Amino acid sequence: MNSSLPNIRHLSTEDLTAYFEQIGEKKFRLQQVQEWLWQKHAHSFEAMSNLSKELRTKLSTDFSLPALKVDATQFSSDGTIKTRFKTYDNHLIEGVLIPTEDRKTACVSSQIGCSLSCKFCATGYMDRKRNLTFDEIVDQVVLINKQSEETYQKKLSNIVFMGMGEPLLNYNNVLKAIERISAEDGLFMSARRITVSTAGVAKQIKKLGDDGVRFKLALSLHAANDAKRNEIMPINETNSIKVLIDALNYFYKKTGNEITLEYILFKNLNDSPKDAEELTKIYRQVPADLINIIEYNSIDAFKFTKPEEEDVQQFMNILANNKVNARLRRSRGKDIDAACGQLANKG
């Protein structure tokens, strides 16, 4: 594939209309091609079977159509499926299908690698190579949806941007991907079934509010005071908890969208009764619907382990006594390194 040619999926409707006029094609060709690109998800011009051979040849001469390819697939004993995708320029990213009785959730990546270096996340130890384009993000959803239909005979019900990379540092592509995923002439999935998770880029959280987005927001908090959060999440040094609380309140005031807090428990770091009380204080200052308390999944580079079961229960009990809406989330796909924080292209 000649990647120096313009990517046809990056052209606006106006650009494509002008192109078809210029080559003397009828107006309805535009609709046919867009249908192939965004509804039938053709990954080659050759696949566009209701176009003449001449037009398909002309399109492949003038444009490129780079698309993600499935590179490897792993199946967990709990039904989770992890897929390693290959980009047109030979980078690897991972996405996960997480099935439950009533939901089929795609966990997708937004960057190749990550620049934030969160200590507990395997992706954080990889260099950030580049942002994913909006069409590459859409491809992940399309391919995972296909897996869901083939394996579970159900379409995806939810999408979470909790894979590799920081979504808010790839702001425009993530928003454009969500626009395409929720478009009537796309996957037509409600934006309210999509959650974007951030390590806490306060400026961009406020921008989401200004842009009036309709999807849900999750903040990866993981520590309830700045000293501890600085230790495991370097981003906290420039985006402190107080700054994030202000940003979340701003986002909620502008959108009214659901906010969740994510909190991974680490033994002897953030799992004490005092930590639970500090977390309660943060919860009271943020319009959060829920705190997801997450089981830690070990990675080779990080020295912490998960707490004892009784310590987890004690932590949950303190939150319950403080009337905090918290849910303990057991990890899925651990046996194939597909669980929270484990995505690192080990494959």
| Model confidence pLDDT, tens digit, residues 124-162 | 678 789 999 999 999 999 999 999 999 999 999 999 999
Is residue 223 located within the same domain as residue 147? yes
Distance separating alpha carbons of residues 305 and 77, to the nearest angstrom: 23
Is residue 2 in some structural domain?
no
Domains held by the chain: number: 2
Is residue 134 in some structural domain?
yes
Whether the per-residue pLDDT at 335 is higher than 70: the answer is no
Q: What average pLDDT does the structure give for the chain? A: 92
Whether the per-residue pLDDT at 294 is higher than 50: the answer is yes
Residue 315 identity? F
Domain end residue (candidates: 62, 86, 107)? 62
Q: What is the mean pLDDT of residues 276-290?
A: 97
Distance separating alpha carbons of residues 48 and 56, to the nearest angstrom: 7
Give all strands (DSSP E) within the chain, no chain letters: 69-75, 81-86, 92-99, 104-107, 111-112, 130-131, 158-161, 194-198, 216-220, 259-264, 290-294, 326-329
Q: What is the mean pLDDT of residues 320-327?
A: 98
Whether the per-residue pLDDT at 347 is higher than 50: the answer is no
340 assigned to active site: yes
Is residue 37 located within the same domain as residue 177? no
Q: Which of 34-48, 89-103, 123-137 has the lowest mean pLDDT?
A: 123-137
Catalytic residue among 107, 114, 118, 340: 340
Is residue 342 in some structural domain?
no
Q: What is the mean pLDDT of residues 272-291?
A: 97
Tokens of 139: 């491809």
Q: Please count the CA atoms within 13 angstroms of the CA of 156 that sit on its side-chain side.
A: 27
pLDDT band at 37 (very low <50, low <70, confident <90, very high): very high
Is residue 108 located within the same domain as residue 188? yes
CATH of the domain at 295: 3.20.20.70
Express as a percent the part of the chain with pLDDT over 90: 83
188-244: per-residue pLDDT in tens? Answer: 999 999 999 999 999 999 999 999 999 999 999 999 999 999 999 999 999 999 999
Is residue 346 in some structural domain?
no
CATH of the domain at 29: 1.10.150.530
Is residue 175 located within the same domain as residue 272? yes
Instruction: Judge whether 38 and 186 are in contact, CB under 8 Å.
Output: yes
94 assigned to active site: yes
Is residue 128 located within the same domain as residue 252? yes
Which single residue is written with the structure tokens 């959108």? Answer: 255
41-71: per-residue pLDDT in tens? Answer: 999 999 999 999 999 999 999 999 999 999 9
Q: Which domain holds residue 22?
A: 8-62
Is residue 73 located within the same domain as residue 55? no
Is residue 101 in some structural domain?
yes
Dihedral (CA of 132, 134, 135, 139) sign = positive
Is residue 321 located within the same domain as residue 257? yes
Catalytic residue among 94, 136, 166, 262: 94
Is residue 26 in some structural domain?
yes
Is residue 144 located within the same domain as residue 30? no
Is residue 28 located within the same domain as residue 116? no
Q: What is the mean pLDDT of residues 67-77?
A: 94
**How confident is the model at residue 186, as a pLDDT?**
87
Is residue 76 located within the same domain as residue 43? no
Q: What angle do CA 117, 163, 260 make, to 5 degrees?
A: 90
**How confident is the model at residue 338, as a pLDDT?**
54
Please give the C-alpha separations between residue 117 and each of 127, 203, 297, 325, in angstroms, as whole numbers.
Answer: 9, 19, 17, 29
Is residue 22 in some structural domain?
yes
In this prediction the pTM is 0.93
Q: What angle do CA 195, 283, 260 make, to 5 degrees?
A: 10
Per DSSP, the three-state class of 125 is helix
210 class by beta-carbon count within 10 Å (0-12 exposed, 13-18 middle, 19+ buried): exposed
Is residue 136 located within the same domain as residue 217? yes
Whether the per-residue pLDDT at 260 is higher than 90: the answer is yes
**How confident is the model at residue 337, as a pLDDT?**
62
Is residue 343 in some structural domain?
no
Rg value, the chain, Cα:
22
Q: What is the mean pLDDT of residues 274-282?
A: 98
Is residue 260 located within the same domain as residue 175? yes
